[in-house]
Amino acid sequence: MHELGIVSGILETVTAAAREAGASRVVAVSLRIGDLREVVPESLDFAWEVLTEEDPITCGCKLEVEEVHPRSRCLACGEEFDHDRFHVRCPACGGRDTHLLRGRELDLVSMEVES
Ligand SMILES: [Zn+2]
């Protein structure tokens, strides 16, 4: 379950930032995750629940996730198009030579702390 690794990395960043800011608790964290990260929401929630409880500073912290759907540009004709995880093919010319514009995000968008 790679969600545990993702959550643990995020929490490391979050708690370090919170401690540096002198916060006593992290109330909410907002993430942006691309579909190509293949994160399973249920597993992410589970990992979040387990790992946030390990540290009093993140205990009870809420998680918000914004999913980002993949989008690519065709290198042959320049068309930009949305696609899913498995089918990356230009709808205009049928080309398979594409450049991914988004869909691989794993960003910490914001966090809310209490001091
Ligand atoms: Zn094309």
Kindly state the average pLDDT of the residues 43-64: 97
Q: How far is residue 79's CA from residue 66's CA, in Å, rounded to a whole number?
A: 25
**What's the pLDDT at 86?**
87
List residues, by chain if needed, whose CB lies under 5 Å from ion ligand 1: 74, 76-77, 79, 90, 92-93, 95
Name residue, tokens 């929630």.
Answer: 45
Question: Domain range for residue 27?
Answer: 3-70+103-114
Q: State in Å: Cα 98 to ligand 1 middle.
A: 8
Burial class of residue 74, CB neighbours in 10 A (0-12, 13-18, 19+): buried
How many structural domains comprise the chain?
Answer: 1
Q: State in Å: Cα 93 to ligand 1 middle.
A: 4
**Domain membership flag for residue 85:** no
Binding residues for Ni(2+): 2
**Domain membership flag for residue 63:** yes
Residue 30 sits in a domain whose CATH number is 3.30.2320.50
**Domain membership flag for residue 7:** yes
Kindly state the average pLDDT of the residues 12-30: 97
Q: How far is residue 9's CA from residue 23's CA, in Å, rounded to a whole number?
A: 19
Kindly state the average pLDDT of the residues 69-91: 96
Look at residue 1 and tell me whether its pLDDT is greater than 80.
Answer: no
**Domain membership flag for residue 91:** no
**Segments of the chain assigned E as strands:** 25-34, 62-68, 71-74, 80-82, 98-102, 106-114
Look at residue 60 and tell me whether its pLDDT is greater than 90.
Answer: yes
